[in-house]
Amino acid sequence: MTDQNAVRVRGLRKRYRGEPAVDGLDLDVAEGEILALLGPNGAGKTTTVEILEGYRERDEGEVSVLGTDPGRAPLRWRRSIGIVLQNARDLNELTVAESVRHFVRYYPDARDPDEVIGLVGLTEKAGALVRTLSGGQRRRLDVALGVVGRPRLLFLDEPTTGFDPQVRRAFWSLIRSLTTGYGTTVVLTTHYLDEAEALADRVAVIVAGRIVAEGDPATLGGRATAEATVSWRDGPAPRSCRTDDPASVVAELTERYGGPVPGLTITRPSLEDVYLTLIESGT
């Protein structure tokens, strides 16, 4: 982490009826970064994010979001964050354009409504009533409302739940464009491991109110250096072995077969494998 952190949390605690929901959590999010928060239901993800958004009071700990304590933040701070909830507000009887233009009025330096509608790929639906939109189109509108105020930090809560694969990938491209084109910092909660791997610069795994691991999705939990499985075919029979040095195994097999090894594959633990191990060991 650099000194340019959008989020800094130290020793965060929150209890409900005496039971810890967040239990001494530390977290940093760099400016311009996409961070994915992963964890099972009840791990403390939602409570943590609601505290960062300023919607829930904490019991203990230090929290700084864009340089301000969200528990005592002024209105100008709230204008600098965007929130896309899992269950968004109802705008059924407004058109897409009317919805975005309505929200523009809340911000002193809002983006041009037509520009935002184009950014989320809804130009052809600008005159359509919100209630006629598909699930994917409605989620795009939710993002438009979340970014119209030029937020420096965007919170996304389970943004692609219920999306089909094609729409999910289009949505991922949209989120990436916000960070590359506008420098927006994104905090994402998701249950989709492929989504975290595709989008996040860094992931943090929360179990029982504490972060048990964080890092690049490719290296989380020692994933990049974990034992690899080398598989191949020996005639009709499948063969495999686990090794810390797959290159040596492949070299030996290449020499044995005098060229390409039939059916050769090399696999390391997936992000899902690592995630499941972390949550099992952290509970």
Q: For residues 59 and 73, what is the distance between their CA atoms, to the nearest angstrom? A: 17
| Residue 209, token pair as written in the block | 């109110």
Overall pTM surpassing 0.75 (yes/no) = yes
Containing 212, the helix (H) or strand (E) segment is strand 210-215
Report pLDDT for 86.
63
Helix, strand or coil, per DSSP, at residue 171:
helix
Provide the CATH number for the domain formed by 1-80+151-225+271-283 in this structure: 3.40.50.300
Report pLDDT for 1.
43
112-120 CB contacts, 8 Å cutoff, 24+ apart: 113/148, 116/144, 116/147, 116/148, 117/144, 119/144, 119/147, 119/174, 119/177, 120/144, 120/174
Q: For residues 82 and 117, what is the distance between their CA atoms, to the nearest angstrom? A: 16
List of residues 6+ apart from 60 with CB closer than 8 A:
11, 12, 13
Q: Which residue stretches of the chain have pLDDT < 70?
A: 1-3, 86-89, 282-283
- The amino acid present at 109, given as its one-letter code, is D
List of residues 6+ apart from 193 with CB closer than 8 A:
38, 270, 271, 272, 275
All structural domains of the chain with their residue ranges? 1-80+151-225+271-283, 88-148, 227-267
Q: For residues 63 and 229, what is the distance between their CA atoms, to the nearest angstrom? A: 43
